[in-house]
Structure 1
């Protein structure tokens, strides 16, 4: 990719070694450039790595605009984290922390050759903002998740003092400012064991969020999470109730979503499923995908398959992976797909469902699938990227959360927005959703009065999402104001350079 021009306003991004995070922050960069197509901005994204790029991610990076330059740092030492069996969150957090000296060196070299005015770091690496202070540039967090989760993060130091037991054992619903109240078991994985390193790192990140001076960019939009937005922007006051002085130091937030993956997909990926969808009736297919890293146990694969068969509804099941009792087993390994689903699907399942469904072990172009007129529902792990893609395309959801913050997202879309149905039990591997419940949920989502109401609410939310990113939409106005601020600083710095200051 071309080197940055010194006359452009330069923005530096810091991501993490997880493709879903990289997609989100780079799509933000693409949105910024799209709004200012006068060649004003150049973006450099610094990406710590754990291994080589996965096959499905390569087309995404190869099609980035020339004004976006990615620097992939050398892989950090990682084997000790995997071999010790530490959680996904700790693996991600500690591996990125080990890359911080390289991030700092890269930023310093950028400042020596480019007009850098702002640093924007992924929410998993708030420590990178220390380099922004050191280098005297604006510093922001890019929060690729919901405003509800951000409200929880900002409130967590207070919540830690208010609740003494494990959250999953708390007898009452957990109050999150400006949001629906949820059960403790639906809080993110990282807070489920208060004695764990996971929890300590989570609280440390939350404290750092409170100290972000220039602001937090959130991949959501006001119209979807209005009360959560108010709870943060009004210093913790929501619905007229003061929730405490501890909230008075909340940073400014900027709602800039929905940001989802855009651009052409690899023509070699997904041809089979798109051709199959072309032959199906409108709104007739349930799309099933557990994202880039989700895995199910053998028993759960069997029950899900048999439940889909029992429902009699059409389905498209993609990214099928080998059974694993650990829900996030392939999160860091994007190529961990199996070649032959016949080896672990129920005996005779594919033959019996021929014509009813299609199962593929490979990747699918998810945005194109969700935008296809034959898709009428989405069984999803509730990663935030997938939730927003479903909202943008107006597809109702069956929430099947597996790990990380996915249960919190599932509570939001099911109990808050009411655009999803959800199994009664724990879907992250501690219990099994049996085939009869799977079939019942599919029918509730795809047919009848309840399914119709969910579809209507989702179509309304889809309209709000479209409005937010229109020329005069709420998110577009917010991002435009930020861009103008950055451009003004860029012109100021450039003038000083030309004057020899």
Structure 2
């Protein structure tokens, strides 16, 4: 669908999302709610990192409501960066290389109807700031990770100035107001890098750039993170508008083999295993996970991806057509035969939202990407935390220690999780007193998340506040 829209008279919000699948999903839901609940028009620009776009992007694009204009921006040339360039730098280039196109689209949209805001993710904030200034429109960030991560970003410049050594060597945890202490090994991947590296410099630059926006929408809610926006030194309006997760049209996923298989399983008996759209583990760890699932004697659904020996984010920008037909030669010999009937292996893609909403699911073995955490929360499913990259260790600590809906698989000194620990963690989450406690707390949080998004809920009011401000500005 092109930039022009039949509802041209409505004030329009332009949203710009970097090529991170974990960002696109909440951006699409935010755009939908601005249209459905607040009478705005929305155009969502997605900066592709691959050409052609990934299978995951195409699946999301196919399910975005017609009321939201979704435009894929072209990927940068394949030789624009060295092959080993970090994911965040690749994502930043995908946005920066499209700034002229974003400017062109914005001007075209602004000629047809009032353009009332430009909303970006943190990756694209630096590149898009000048576009908002040229257009004279409010410039907002939509932070698709938790408040705790944003709070760390906001304080990073002062932490950086006060510290002499590497962050990964710090003996004392970082203590943020109202948040669980962040120990050195739980810091985001970019903070664990050498402070002289380009990866760290880019992360620090992104942190400093937060101050350049007019306000931040955060994909969280007050019952989950009571401290949200409560940092007294923060000079920035913060709007907790979550949990905004993927809402597929009813019935789309009901014919997937996972759903019919789940229908035949006892209530609360199945472990769902997925490391998100981007996460990957090694061949050895994949084999150990398989043996652990078998050893647990618990039913399971495993959304499996081909292992990668050197990267936990090998699928970060999505996978291409055909990956789902690759051989399962990385699984232990005889595993599929021995677990037939007890488990189901889904290659490449599984209907996660529908799976987590099924009453047969007892726990979610997850990398703790924020979308997955929120999907687990809104469905009242306890988690077994297996973080891989970015801020996922922080998310895991918060959900286990502070929120009380997760337990963490025990990691060995070599960062390897043994089959006995895999089996033990899954059993603890599904059977026994600890499982009952996790279920009770998860059920309570599910109710609170529904309340936050109800007609008079705190997140609904926060989004209405900012949407009304944008509409009022357009009338002036």
Would the TM-score normalized by the shorter structure come out above 0.5? yes
Look up the match of 1:26.
Answer: 28
SS at 1:191's partner residue?
Answer: helix
**Within-5 A mapping of 1:402-413:** 402-413=388-399
Look up the match of 2:62.
Answer: 62
- For residue 477 of structure 1, report the CA deviation from its aligned partner: 0.7
Look up the match of 1:108.
Answer: 107
Matched residues in 2 for 1:440 and 1:268: separation? 31
Q: How many residues align?
A: 470
Unaligned runs of 5+ in 2: none
Q: Which sits farther off after the overlay, 278-287 or 171-180? A: 171-180
Measured against aligned partners, the alpha-carbon deviations of 1:174-213 in whole angstroms (never above 9, x if no partner) come to 222321102111111111121111111111111111232x
Q: Determine whether 1:259 maps to 2:259.
A: no
Matched residues in 2 for 1:268 and 1:219: separation? 25
- For residue 296 of structure 1, report the CA deviation from its aligned partner: 1.1
Look up the match of 1:97.
Answer: 96
Unaligned runs of 5+ in 1: 236-246, 493-501
- For residue 258 of structure 1, report the CA deviation from its aligned partner: 0.3
Look up the match of 2:367.
Answer: 381
- For residue 340 of structure 1, report the CA deviation from its aligned partner: 4.7
Contact preservation (8 Å) 1:49, 1:73 = yes
1:474/1:225 CA distance change after superposition, 3 Å: same
- For residue 80 of structure 1, report the CA deviation from its aligned partner: 4.4
- For residue 320 of structure 1, report the CA deviation from its aligned partner: 2.8
TM-score if structure 2 supplies the norm length? Answer: 0.94
**Within-5 A mapping of 1:60-139:** 60-83=60-83, 85-127=84-126, 128-139=128-139
Contact preservation (8 Å) 2:132, 2:139 = yes
Contact preservation (8 Å) 1:17, 1:47 = yes
Contact preservation (8 Å) 2:9, 2:112 = no
Matched residues in 2 for 1:49 and 1:362: separation? 20
- For residue 446 of structure 1, report the CA deviation from its aligned partner: 1.0
Measured against aligned partners, the alpha-carbon deviations of 1:240-271 in whole angstroms (never above 9, x if no partner) come to xxxxxxx35x3110000000000227958971
Matched residues in 1 for 2:310 and 2:255: separation? 27
Look up the match of 2:157.
Answer: 157
Matched residues in 2 for 1:397 and 1:478: separation? 28
Look up the match of 1:243.
Answer: none
SS at 2:13's partner residue?
Answer: strand
Matched residues in 1 for 2:104 and 2:78: separation? 20
RMSD, aligned α-carbons: 2.0
Matched residues in 2 for 1:269 and 1:196: separation? 47
1:391 to 349, 365, 377: 377
Q: Determine whether 1:180 maps to 2:180.
A: yes
SS at 2:362's partner residue?
Answer: strand
Look up the match of 1:202.
Answer: 203
Contact preservation (8 Å) 1:289, 1:317 = yes
Contact preservation (8 Å) 1:311, 1:442 = yes
SS at 1:486's partner residue?
Answer: helix
Q: Determine whether 1:415 maps to 2:416.
A: no
Matched residues in 2 for 1:292 and 1:262: separation? 16
Matched residues in 1 for 2:168 and 2:99: separation? 34
Contact preservation (8 Å) 2:367, 2:387 = yes
Look up the match of 2:305.
Answer: 320
TM-score if structure 1 supplies the norm length? Answer: 0.89
1:397/1:478 CA distance change after superposition, 3 Å: same
SS at 2:236's partner residue?
Answer: coil
Q: Determine whether 1:362 maps to 2:348.
A: yes
